[in-house]
């Protein structure tokens, strides 16, 4: 899970924006803090595709479709955790990730708030995990034990083109599980592109992280503004690419904004790139989407691949161009 760390007022200072007064629109500061827009060359990529006609399933803690930057973009799927909303903690992380994928902004000409990588895509919210701070997280019911596998299958059966999983551990904790791996194969067989975060303990245990480590899943690590791999980003031989993952401004479940670090944000952005490709090429296979993303990178390692960078830094415009060639 990504580490959300400060509110937008502090975030504005972190990313070099003048802190807004109480009367200012917080959305203006949020948009100004989206440094990844230029890094991913999104304004150029949007000339070819904005993700129209693509359904992205966000398997997370739930998505607040009433956030002004996500209005009209979200369809609510099932809560597979078995926890309900009794703790009051619901949807903050999922809302953040959904905004990075398909945020539409708000205000005049949608110039304020968070704009996602694929702002014309639709989001299917499927709740498969609880917020990190939720006291019920340690007391997960048996009903929610296989939530991720069920969520993957549900998304595939509902025609999801992309399945975004900014989470780790799964029901098999750090070893993975047979039912999740089978669900991944099932979804790929149905034509879905699966994307997951590589993990945030790269500077400590650097554990193998699931669902990122399942074969066929696009595993994504994080880089900072200088395109250097973040210290927390897991280094593993299943890593596909890296993407912006530090000082990332996102929508918050409480209709506000936060800034966070983590491979979660990086994975959400790559899920957005997959949506752009699927929109431009509806019949493209999951394998070729992954290939296009891995070919369309910046800072490719000298040897062609490394456990830290994967194939390189994901780039929306270059990935679309690679998909065109494929």
Catalytic residue among 2, 164, 233, 264: 264
The verdict on whether 67 is a catalytic residue reads no
Residues 180/170, Cβ–Cβ less than 8 Å: yes
Catalytic residue among 60, 69, 79, 134: 60
Q: Tell me the two tokens of residue 325.
A: 């060639």
> What is the rounded CA–CA span in Å between residue 292 and residue 278?
11
The verdict on whether 93 is a catalytic residue reads yes
Catalytic residue among 93, 106, 146, 311: 93
Sort residue 229 into left (φ over 0), alpha (ψ -120 to 50) or beta. beta
The verdict on whether 164 is a catalytic residue reads no
How many Å separate Cα 34 from the centre of its chain? 15
Q: Which element (helix H / strand E) includes 101?
A: helix 92-102
> What is the rounded CA–CA span in Å between residue 285 and residue 237?
23
Q: Which element (helix H / strand E) includes 276?
A: helix 263-280
Angle between helices 286-295 and 316-325 (to 10 degrees): 120
Question: Known catalytic residues?
Answer: 60, 93, 264
């Amino acid at each position: 899970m990504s580490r959300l760390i400060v509110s937008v007022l502090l975030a504005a200072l972190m990313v070099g924006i003048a802190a807004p007064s109480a009367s200012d629109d917080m959305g203006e500061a949020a948009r100004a803090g989206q440094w990844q827009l230029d890094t991913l060359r999104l304004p150029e990529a949007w000339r070819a595709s904005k993700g129209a006609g693509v359904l992205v399933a966000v398997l997370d803690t739930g998505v607040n479709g009433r956030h002004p930057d996500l209005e009209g973009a979200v369809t609510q799927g099932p809560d597979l955790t078995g926890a309900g909303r009794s703790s009051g903690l619901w949807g903050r992380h999922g809302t953040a990730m959904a905004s990075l994928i398909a945020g539409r902004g708000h205000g005049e000409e949608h110039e304020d708030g968070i704009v996602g990588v694929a702002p014309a895509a639709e989001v299917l919210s499927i709740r498969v995990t609880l917020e990190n701070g939720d006291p019920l997280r340690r007391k997960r019911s048996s009903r929610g034990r296989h939530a991720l596998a069920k969520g993957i299958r549900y998304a595939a059966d509902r025609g999801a083109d992309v399945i975004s999983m900014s989470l780790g551990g799964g029901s098999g904790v750090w070893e993975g599980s047979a039912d999740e791996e089978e669900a991944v194969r099932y979804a790929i067989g149905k034509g879905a592109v699966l994307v997951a975060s590589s993990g945030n303990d790269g500077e400590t245990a650097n554990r193998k992280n699931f669902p990122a480590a399942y074969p066929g899943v696009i595993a994504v690590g994080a880089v900072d503004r200088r395109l250097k791999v973040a210290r927390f980003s897991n280094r593993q031989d299943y890593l596909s690419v890296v993407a912006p993952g530090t000082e990332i401004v996102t929508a918050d479940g409480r209709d506000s904004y936060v800034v966070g670090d983590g491979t979660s944000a990086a994975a959400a952005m790559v899920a957005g790139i997959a949506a752009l490709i699927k929109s431009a090429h509806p019949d493209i296979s999951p394998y070729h989407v992954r290939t296009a993303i891995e070919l369309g990178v910046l800072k490719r390692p000298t040897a062609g691949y490394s456990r830290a960078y994967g194939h390189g830094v994901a780039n929306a415009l270059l990935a679309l161009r690679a998909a065109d060639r494929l």
